[in-house]
Amino acid sequence: MILFEIRVVASLHGGDRKNVIEEWLDDLREQKEVVANELRVRLSYLRELPRDQWEIPFFRASMQGFREIGELRFKCFGTQFRVFGFFGPNDGEFTLLGGATHKMNRYNPASAIESADKLRKQVLDGERKTEKFTVIVAPEVAGQDGS
């Protein structure tokens, strides 16, 4: 049973432009497909769990200095990937805010958490919109609606 709808911060200008996660994934170039699939698999698992079961090693509930932001955690190609998000803006939603790589207690880009927090505040203030984020990797395995 799906407990959380996964949302993502939409393009600032709407239309056919990419959301913040698609933009981040595009920057990964040849790693994009594998990282995107791993993210979607992780989210398809987590969205069916109660919030109190979103925990390490898959999810860290809050970031030092940014208690409202959590991070999805996974590894591909020997690299630690982090995708930031928060529970909201509505009940039953988890909204993705951006991504980074992580090595030796440092994020790349270095401002990833600050940028995520800025987006979170813009969403909560109604300055940025969110859209549904598709999490299923293999639609033929999913239900009839593909979600």
The span from the CA of 114 to the CA of 139, in Å, is 34
Are residues 5 and 43 in contact, defined by beta-carbon separation less than 8 angstroms?
no
Per-residue exposure over 37-75, b if at least 16 CB sit within 10 Å of its own CB, e if not: ebbbebbbebbeeeeeebeeebbbeebeebeebbbbbbe
pLDDT at 57: 93
pLDDT beyond 50 at 145: no
- Of the listed ranges 10-14, 50-54, 88-92, 100-104, the least confidently predicted one is 10-14
Mean pLDDT for all residues in the chain: 90
The pTM for the full model equals: 0.89
**Digit-coded pLDDT (tens) for 40-86:** 999 999 999 999 999 999 999 988 889 999 999 999 999 999 999 99
pLDDT beyond 50 at 147: no
In DSSP terms, which residues pair with 7 in a beta bridge? 95, 132
- 81: which residues sit within 8 A by CB, 6+ positions away? 35, 38, 39, 73, 74, 75, 99, 100, 101, 102
